[in-house]
Amino acid sequence: MHQRGQKILIVDDERLNIRVLDEMLRDTYEVSVALSGEEALEVVRIVVPDLILLDIQMPGMDGYEVCRRLMADEATRSVPIVFVTAMHEKDDEQRGLELGAVDYITKPFHPAIILSRLKNHLKLQQLNRQLKQQVEQEVALRMTAQQEHELSRQLLIQQSKMAEMGSMLGAIAHQWQQPLCTVSILTESVLCAHQNKLLDEAYLKETTESVLQQIRFMAKTVEDFRRFLVPSKEKVVFNLLTSVQEIIALIGKEFELRDIALDVHCPRKVRVIGYPNEVKQVVLNLLNNARDALSERKCTDPRVSVTIEAIASSARVMVCDNGGGISEDLLPEKLFDPFETTKGEKGTGIGLSLAKQIITRMDGTIAATNTHEGACFILTLPLAGEDA
């Protein structure tokens, strides 16, 4: 059921289009309008809407650029964007969805279809917000006065994972948007084919397989997330590159949306002995720290590189960025002290301290240094073997 308080922003340079959409939506939603991309960006700085209907072909800043900027901004990146446009080419639709839009509706449109799709996207948006609030409430309940003064290693691990969970949930939401849109379109196409007496067994079989393929992708995303949350019980031999790739598969979209290049270099297979999920947690923390630093400092041509190599009896993982580096008074060891953070009030000071505990427990080391471009974190772990 729609809620009257939900806010929708219509962005279109054609007043007739705005009038049609406004008349369709104003009895159910709080509607605001913008006649250009530039005006839309100004509007969302004042009040962030629950959903944006965005035209593509506009003078000055087009809809694609508006979408890219909204997705790159922390305040608006979770707002669903639905393109409403006269552009019918598949390449146009693909480009819009790749930029982060949740749907693509071509003109002329049917009011019932518009209302149905908006209802689904707003419901998903509401569920995402509720889930985020539940996570935040869980964190708040755990942070009692006694726990703040008597942090144990297990409590540190749990709090650190909860702190990363918001980012992970955001990544999952972005990965789900496109398959959900595809499933919606395929479902409507079956109904349309049935109404036009074009629904045969071959068409139904092909469409069903396409829907199942999207569902399998979404299920795999949830399973990857679930595995990340389960602590490793004992040391095992595992491939470092595989662990890094699994983390990047979960959070890589976050880097794309911020235009941050993320490169992995691993010339040969490198296997180590340790706790794979805990290593993934350390790598995730380092990648998120680099991403946040690059975004906050608005670096030109931001880049993060992950290099994996084997040297003598040790494996080495280097996570480096071009974000300007770490304050010298935190190097070489103070950075890893509990409650030391480079993020000001946004940081907990737990992540790097916990990373050091995890790597030390695996008979490894973690160090931080500055290069001529930025910060570089170096992990060393016991080498199990390597294959060319």
**Does position 165 have pLDDT exceeding 80, yes or no?**
no
At 150, list the tokens: 């008597």
Q: Are residues 107 and 160 in the same domain?
A: no
Give residue 153's pLDDT.
Answer: 53
Higher pLDDT, 182 or 6: 6
Judged by phi (left if over 0) then psi (alpha if -120 to 50, else beta), residue 101 lies in beta
Rounded distance, CA 84 to CA 60, Å? Answer: 18
> In the chain, pLDDT over 90 holds for what percent of residues?
27
Q: Give 244-254 pLDDT, tens digit per residue.
A: 998 888 778 77
For residue 274, report the phi and psi dihedrals to the nearest 5 degrees.
Answer: 170, -155
Query: Of the candidates 229, 262, 283, which is a domain's last residue?
Result: 229
88: number of Cβ within 10 Å: 10
Q: Are residues 197 and 246 in the same domain?
A: no
Q: Give 269-292 pLDDT, tens digit per residue.
A: 899 998 888 888 889 889 988 998
**Does position 268 have pLDDT exceeding 90, yes or no?**
no
Closest CA to 306 of 340, 341, 280: 280
In a domain, 292, yes or no: yes
Give residue 387's pLDDT.
Answer: 44
Letter for the amino acid at 151? L
pLDDT band of residue 311 (cuts 50, 70, 90) is: confident
Q: Are residues 277 and 318 in the same domain?
A: yes
Give residue 26's pLDDT.
Answer: 86
Higher pLDDT, 277 or 380: 380
**Does position 368 have pLDDT exceeding 90, yes or no?**
yes
Closest CA to 293 of 255, 245, 247: 255
Give residue 86's pLDDT.
Answer: 79
Contact between 335 and 342 (Cβ < 8 Å): yes
Query: Of the candidates 229, 259, 291, which is a domain's last residue?
Result: 229
Distance of CA 358 to the CA centre of its chain: 25
Give residue 345's pLDDT.
Answer: 47
In a domain, 335, yes or no: yes
Give residue 246's pLDDT.
Answer: 85
Query: Of the candidates 197, 229, 261, which is a domain's last residue?
Result: 229
Closest CA to 364 of 307, 316, 331, 306: 316
Lowest mean per-residue pLDDT among 49-58, 102-111, 334-343: 334-343
In a domain, 130, yes or no: no
Domain count, the chain: 3
Contact between 255 and 72 (Cβ < 8 Å): no
Question: Can you tell me the mean pLDDT for 69-82?
Answer: 90
Higher pLDDT, 118 or 225: 118
**Does position 362 have pLDDT exceeding 80, yes or no?**
yes
Distance of CA 184 to the CA centre of its chain: 22
CA distances from 138 to 124, 166, 179, 387 (A): 21, 12, 29, 44
Q: Are residues 267 and 376 in the same domain?
A: yes
pLDDT band of residue 308 (cuts 50, 70, 90) is: very high
CATH of the domain at 97: 3.40.50.2300
At 50, list the tokens: 């629950």
pLDDT band of residue 355 (cuts 50, 70, 90) is: confident
Q: Are residues 147 and 272 in the same domain?
A: no
Can you give the residue range of the structural domain that contains 162? 136-229
pTM score of the predicted model = 0.49
Give residue 141's pLDDT.
Answer: 67
Q: Are residues 185 and 274 in the same domain?
A: no
Question: Can you tell me the mean pLDDT for 103-113?
Answer: 79
Q: Give 128-155 pLDDT, tens digit per residue.
A: 777 777 766 776 666 554 555 445 555 5
Q: Are residues 309 and 174 in the same domain?
A: no
